[in-house]
Amino acid sequence: MTETKTQLQVTVAIPVKNEEANLTACLERLGRFQEIVVIDSGSTDRTAEIAEQFGARIADFNWDGKFPKKRNWLLLNDPPNQPWVLFLDADEFVNDEFCNAVERAIRDEAKDGYWLSYTNYFLGQPLRHGLAQRKLALFRVGNALYEKIDEDQWSQLDMEIHEHPIIEGDVGEITVPIDHRDYKGLGKFIEKHRDYALWEARRYAKLQNDPAVWDLLTSRQRVKYKYLAKWWYPAFYFLFTYIAKRGFLDGGAGFHYAVYKAWYFHTIRLLIKEQQSQT
């Protein structure tokens, strides 16, 4: 006899642009959620067709270079129809164990949001060690917006990248991990991190001129932006994630991932120095 599983009163919101490589694997795991919204930035591949095949609601987003970006735009202009919203990227995949954890979590009337954990994949291998990825990506609708960053026209990224939601209320944690595995390959990984590095360098400059924003940062963000421009930070990150956090136990994939992340932070530092020399 097949067990009937509870439909979760959660809207899953998936920001996308040309995600046909990942989207099917993401959507086919979301049958227990009451609503699926795909927020599309003018995809030119089969993204919209795939979303329609799975019965997802498509919200078309055209960014004007100003606030709000994609996730905040949905919350403010086309709100989810369920009391909770879960933001997933197209390369993030849930399983039944995670859905069961969500079912338990949203019953807790004392909580208004949850930190989520992720298992990163790199070069086709899961990374079980190293610095854990966490995001505040499940919360009650109406109780949170992502950080507002003054970045009018200086960024080409139309979606919140490293901003986190500001939650009104208590926040818990779901420890069952989401699989984060991008099927687009190493070239796309490098391209994304180049774009992220440009964004981080510009945000660093903005933070220096707006000390009030520091009160809204998470503890991890404060550490990052305090030391991001230091010459030793990329090497420290490599040693911390590869040695202290035992990334070496992930073999070659763990080593290469730590090297690429150190390269990423080194690139940010050089971009910061370049910006400072031009002012």
Task: Locate the domains of the chain by residue range.
Answer: 8-180, 186-277
What is the torsion angle, in degrees rounded to the nearest 10, for the CA atoms of residue 218, residue 158, residue 9 and residue 95?
-80
Structure tokens at 230: 């230091």
In this predicted structure, what is the pLDDT of residue 2? 46
Rounded distance between C-alpha atoms, residue 108 and residue 97, angstroms? 18
In this predicted structure, what is the pLDDT of residue 216? 77
8-180 belongs to which homologous superfamily?
Spore Coat Polysaccharide Biosynthesis Protein SpsA; Chain A (3.90.550.10)
Count Cβ atoms below 10 Å from residue 206 Cβ, excluding itself. 13
Cis bond leading into 68, ω under 30°?
yes
In this predicted structure, what is the pLDDT of residue 215? 78
In this predicted structure, what is the pLDDT of residue 214? 81
Give, for all 279 residues of the chain, the pLDDT tens digit. Answer: 445 677 999 999 999 999 999 999 999 999 999 999 999 999 999 999 999 999 999 999 999 888 899 999 999 999 999 999 999 999 999 999 999 999 999 999 999 999 999 999 999 999 999 999 999 999 999 999 998 877 666 678 899 988 889 998 999 999 999 999 988 999 999 999 999 999 999 989 888 877 777 877 888 888 999 999 999 999 999 999 999 999 999 999 999 999 999 999 999 999 999 999 987
In this predicted structure, what is the pLDDT of residue 93? 98
Q: Which residues, 6 or more positions from 241, have their beta carbon under 8 angstroms from its beta carbon?
A: 130, 131, 247, 258, 261
What is the torsion angle, in degrees rounded to the nearest 10, for the CA atoms of residue 42, residue 145, residue 181 and residue 11?
-80
Q: What is the pTM of this model?
A: 0.93
Nearest to 135 by CA among 24, 225, 218, 240: 218
In this predicted structure, what is the pLDDT of residue 1? 42
Q: Which residues, 6 or more positions from 219, have their beta carbon under 8 angstroms from its beta carbon?
A: none
Phi and psi angles of residue 223, each rounded to the nearest 5 degrees, phi first:
-60, -45
Phi and psi angles of residue 181, each rounded to the nearest 5 degrees, phi first:
-135, 115
**Cβ(43)–Cβ(16) below 8 Å:** yes
